[in-house]
Structure 1
Amino acid sequence: MFVAQASLAHHGWAWATDMEFELTGTITKARLGNPHGELNVAVKDESWVVEVGQPWRNERAGLSDEMLGVGRVITVHGHRSSNPEQRVMKAERIIIDGKSYNLYPDRKS
């Protein structure tokens, strides 16, 4: 299932709903790099895949790889997969230790 989810993530925003979505959890795995980063985030009894920005986008937002490391508690705002069976979302904004990092400052939801 992860392969199908990852392939969806490479098509911009078409796979995601238009509705705003938020989750808070702990990073259990991080794969950062191109074409974009992905975090596995534990939220209660569920595991979510959160697509974050490309390295340049994360840096521009003020995020470092260390900030997106395993064990970090984060709140993610963005859009989830339009398939409710998939626990996948694309992050627009990440909150860490009360500070907000906007990955897409020009995007209109």
Structure 2
Amino acid sequence: MHLWTKLKAAAIALALAVGVLGAQVAAAHHGWGWTSDEEFVLTGKIVAVRLGNPHGELSVEADGQRWIVEVGQPWRNKRAGLDDDLLSIGRELTAHGHRSSNPEQRLMKAERIVIEGKSYNLYPDRAS
């Protein structure tokens, strides 16, 4: 019985550690903690699309480089007026937001998207 109690305690401790680490990793990526404080603007053509939760991602070709541009969750995109047709392959856009604080990553989180001269504000409570 004593060995079983130790194994059970070890399993609980491991599960808690994995849960805490997982939450830290998720928090590090989602939200704004992983981005730089500086405003960033990227103009390019959409070459791949993955929409859905926890957020959409657009692969954008800009100046010969491929960038990942995070857009909002489906409800946020819809609220901003961005439907799936606007976020389609071949469409040119300008994304305003913040890039990764890691300069080696070509990754940004968009606050606002401009397509065909129309602005779609994903985060109206943030200045962009």
Provide TM-score, normalisation by structure 1: 0.89
Partner of 2:23: none
SS in 2 for 1:68: coil
CA distance in 1, matches of 2:64, 2:112: 23
Higher relative contact order at CA 8 Å, sep ≥6: structure 1 or structure 2? 1
Partner of 1:53: 72
1:23 matches 2:23: no
Structure that is richer in strand per residue: 1
| 1:16/1:90 contact within 8 Å kept | yes
Partner of 2:85: 66
Q: Report the aligned-residue RMSD.
A: 1.5
Change (3 A) 1:108 1:75: closer
SS in 2 for 1:67: coil
SS in 2 for 1:18: coil
What is the percent sequence identity of the aligned residues? 69
SS in 2 for 1:66: coil
How many residues end up aligned between the 2 structures? 103
* Structure 1 runs (4+) greater than 4 angstroms displaced: none
SS in 2 for 1:83: coil
CA distance in 1, matches of 2:31, 2:87: 21
Look up the equivalent residue of 1:50 and give its one-letter code: V
Greater radius of gyration (CA): 2
CA distance in 2, matches of 1:75, 1:53: 15
Task: List per-residue Cα deviations over 1:20-74 (Å, max 9, x = no partner).
Answer: 0001000000000111000000002100000000000000000001100000000
What residue ranges of structure 1 are gaps of 5+ in the alignment? 1-6
Q: Structure 1 residue 11: deviation in Å?
A: 2.3
Partner of 2:97: 78
Q: Structure 1 residue 8: deviation in Å?
A: 7.9
